A and B are shown apart, each in its own frame.
Chain A
Amino acid sequence: QVHLQQSGPGLVKPSETLSLTCAISGDSVSTNSGAWNWIRQSPSRGLELLGRIYYRSKWYFDYALPVKSRITINPDTSKNQFSLQLKSVTPEDTAVYYCASEWFRYWGQGTLVTVSS
């Protein structure tokens, strides 16, 4: 059984960087058979995949086009976790953010991030 625990601030100012972390238990961030995703959910956009990382002898990073210029997802093998950074946020980035395992079998608890001054 995989458990994902999210952490990070719920309020970010416009133009600043949104940063969230997803700690994994029950699996490894550097497994050769999985991938790790960040998704967000808002009333205007619904559920939207932002990006994912996976390890197949080296790290691969896939980012969705709408956020590609602003997003970074990084693994932290020492802590068995992965992180999301979304820079230059605007109120449009206000959403509930989730991390999820490969094929979205397991999800984090969600973090409501509000972009406001």
Chain B
Amino acid sequence: DVVLTQSPLSLPVTLGQPASISCRSSQSLVYRDGDTYLNWFQQRPGQSPRRLLYKVSNRDSGVPDRFSGSGSGTDFTLKISRVEAEDVGLYYCMQGTHWPDTFGQGTKVEIK
């Protein structure tokens, strides 16, 4: 199975400051159709995961534009331009290029 390694696992941030999470894959996530099936999810305490970004950098409807995604091949990044209190929670990357789809281990974002 494809292993996704996130870093850091814990990310204390100051309100209004930027935050960045890395996701590295054990294999290239470029599919034969040329797309890269790398998603990012947010999971607030006590809630189901919520998809933020799909295919690396496409924001889902309703997701604030302070969330952005970048990367290619095996290295990907989620950035929050200015962290707000509601951004506290766990963040996961997930790949859907190779069966079975796999998730990173999660990064906990908390306010300093």
> Which A residues lie within 8 Å of B96 (CB)?
103
Chain B positions 81 through 110: 1 when the CB is less than 8 Å from some CB of chain A, otherwise 0: 000000000001010100111110110000
When the two chains form their complex, are residues B106 and A46 in contact, meaning their CB atoms are under 8 A apart? yes
B50 at the interface (CB under 8 A from A): yes
Q: Do A62 and B105 form a contact, CB below 8 Å, given A104-B51, A105-B60, A109-B48?
A: no
Q: Do A103 and B51 form a contact, CB below 8 Å, given A46-B103, A46-B105, A49-B100?
A: yes
Q: Once bound together, how far apart are the Cα atoms of A47 and B42, in whole Å?
A: 12
B67 at the interface (CB under 8 A from A): no
> Which A residues lie within 8 Å of B41 (CB)?
104
The residues in A between 61 and 77 inclusive whose CB is less than 8 angstroms from any CB of B are: 62, 64-65
When the two chains form their complex, are residues A105 and B51 in contact, meaning their CB atoms are under 8 A apart? yes
A107 at the interface (CB under 8 A from B): yes
> Which B residues lie within 8 Å of A105 (CB)?
51, 54, 60
> Which B residues lie within 8 Å of A62 (CB)?
99-100
When the two chains form their complex, are residues B51 and A47 in contact, meaning their CB atoms are under 8 A apart? no
The residues in A between 91 and 108 inclusive whose CB is less than 8 angstroms from any CB of B are: 98, 103-105, 107-108
Interface residues on A, range: 10 to 19
Q: Do A49 and B102 form a contact, CB below 8 Å, given A104-B39, A104-B94?
A: yes
Nearest chain-A residue to B104 (Cβ)? A46
When the two chains form their complex, are residues B49 and A103 in contact, meaning their CB atoms are under 8 A apart? no
Q: Once bound together, how far apart are the Cα atoms of A98 and B41, in whole Å?
A: 14
Known: A47-B103, A49-B100, A105-B60; 19 extra A-B contacts, CB below 8 A, are A46-B103, A46-B105, A47-B49, A47-B92, A47-B94, A47-B106, A48-B103, A49-B102, A62-B99, A62-B100, A64-B100, A103-B37, A104-B41, A104-B94, A105-B51, A105-B54, A107-B48, A107-B49, A107-B50
Residues of A within 8 A of B (CB): 46-49, 62, 64-65, 98, 103-105, 107-110
Residues of B within 8 A of A (CB): 37, 39, 41, 48-51, 54, 60, 92, 94, 96, 99-103, 105-106
Q: List 9 A-B contacts (CB under 8 A).
A: A46-B103, A47-B103, A49-B101, A49-B102, A65-B100, A98-B49, A103-B54, A103-B96, A110-B48
